[in-house]
Amino acid sequence: MPTYNPPLRDMQFVMYEVLNVVDELKAIPRHADLDADTLNAILEEGGKFASEVIQPLNLGGDLEGCVLDKTTHEVKTPTGFKEAYAKYVEGGWAALSCDPAYGGQGLPVVANQCVYEMLNGANQAWTMYPGLSHGAYEALHAHGTPEQQKKYLPKMTSGEWTGSMCLTEPHCGTDLGLLRSKAEPVGDGTYKITGNKIFISAGEHDMAPNILHLVLARLPDAPKGSKGISLFLVPKFNVNEDGSLGERNPVFCTGLEHKMGIHGNSTAQLSLEGAVGTLVGEPNKGLQAMFVMMNAARLGVGNQSLGLTEVAYQNALAYAKDRLQMRSLSGPKAKDLPADPIIVHPDVRKMLLTAKAYAEGGRAMSIYCAMLLDKALYHPDEKVRKESDELVALLTPIVKAFLTDNGFAATNHAMQVFGGHGYIHETGMEQYVRDARINMIYEGTNTVQSLDLLGRKILGNQGATLKKFGKLIAVLVQEEGVNEKMSEFINPLGYLADQMTKFTTEIGFKGFINPDEVGGASVDYLRVAGHLVFGYFFARMASVALKKQAEGNTDPFYTAKIQTARFYFARLFPETASLMRTARSGVANLLDTEEALA
């Protein structure tokens, strides 16, 4: 049975010692009174909820899965899930970063992000229920009508009602321009929604009395393609004027997907049979409204893999210290035992350190993005809001793709550390691998994220936002460039930052001549960009740790941080050289392959 220990010390290090979160938040009036003690108390309690309430449900939930009653269209979630959700609502966790105008606590996104990392590490399948609800809350908060907000947001803020987003249809996944669901106006401000949706996470369950579905559909005579999509709010139960539940809306679960992982989450097939819905946002501009939820989901999916990376690493580390196999190549290390613990072997340490580095780099990046969101939402300076929004838009596809690719690699490494026992369900390792695999697919495959990064976020504005991030690196390089102890971190980071400009220009020029060149290079490009961002944060973390040691601090945490940064730059960061080489190889070796793929 796996265990989970909330990584509070590392979260606090990133927030307070690297990013100076409290000082940054003090510039935002609504967070000016927030202090580290308050944040720490929230994270400690969130960690307890994750490790004590939902983590014990993870292994059993994977075995039991969800069950659909086809006669009633109701779904039963695994044993304990409903009760744990009731405790979540009772504890006020759903309202953590929500608007006080609707009953929220108004705490920063940073706090919510850290709590969700711990929830994901403890039980990703369970956490998807409140996670999707929070995304639906954000979409309604940004684009809902005053009537919709008054009617629905208090219930979503409290967590009493949950939400889902209904995009995918049997014939279309990422290409939403192909969707066929229809919305017919009734004449009273409502619409009758008809269509079929698939792969709807948390689309039907027994954890809350009502589910608010955000559904993409087409109005009559809507333009073809993505320009003709509108967004509708379709509740499972219609809501009366006094806020009580009314009649059942005809949006029914007709099947559950039999999935490789996340068995505890109900991935539903939904049939809308003239279901009553109300328009969210403007007609034919549904994607703009839905992108609020989709972007939140992309950051959330990266956070899911971050949680899995951490929990898989923790359990693999504990196992490696205990499992005896063979002797060290340089001679026995545990002479009083019949064999050495496997942690003495270099390749086992490589796997463990890979997972550790991916967790710590991902945590720094994730918390940084959360801080950017807090600034983009509420900073009093419009320029700061705009620049923060630009940076988080740039980093969002990297968070989604880089962290999920890394999460799958890390969970595989952790399973490998367990050897044959990693392949057995009871250890929990194989579940982490299966759960991690979906994160590379949903909310836009990682290839789609790569195209978004390179095609839209970078080439779309001639690299302007990338240059802004490059300036952050330049400042760090200038500050630490003369520090000999930082050379092993700063030199490779500075070199890649210089190469990135040339690399981007080259790919952009090729793409101008032949757009397929962008498609051929984008996945490798995103991974290079991910390492550039990780390198920046690892250099910053190493700088803080070295300064602490120079001040006489003997906390082994700082030594560990420096050692992890050293491993990252020596063993993982050099991947960028081969990635740039393959990206530059051109698209011909992919497309001029008719015979090879005949």
Query: Beta strand pairing status for 267-280 and 191-201?
Result: antiparallel
Please tell me the distance from the alpha carbon of residue 177 to that of residue 75, in angstroms, as a whole number: 30
Cβ pair 440, 402 in contact under 8 A? no
Two tokens at 176? 């939403």
Say which amino acid occupies 118. M
Contacts of 327 (CB under 8 A, 6+ apart): 333, 339, 340
Closest CA relative to residue 511, chosen from 453, 446, 587? 587
| Residue 443 designated active-site | yes
Please tell me the distance from the alpha carbon of residue 270 to that of residue 164, in angstroms, as a whole number: 11
CA neighbours closer than 13 Å in the CB half-sphere of residue 279: 20
Catalytic residue among 117, 204, 443, 480: 443
Phi and psi at 242, nearest 5°, equal: -85, 5
Query: Beta strand pairing status for 245-248 and 74-76?
Result: unpaired
Torsion of CA 72, 297, 257, 236, to 10 degrees: 10
Helix (H, G, I), strand (E, B) or coil at 234: strand
Please tell me the distance from the alpha carbon of residue 465 to that of residue 461, in angstroms, as a whole number: 8
Indicate the burial class of 420 (C-beta count within 10 angstroms; 0-12, 13-18, 19 or more).
Answer: exposed
Please tell me the distance from the alpha carbon of residue 263 to that of residue 124, in angstroms, as a whole number: 10
Q: Looking at the annotation, which residues are catalytic?
A: 443
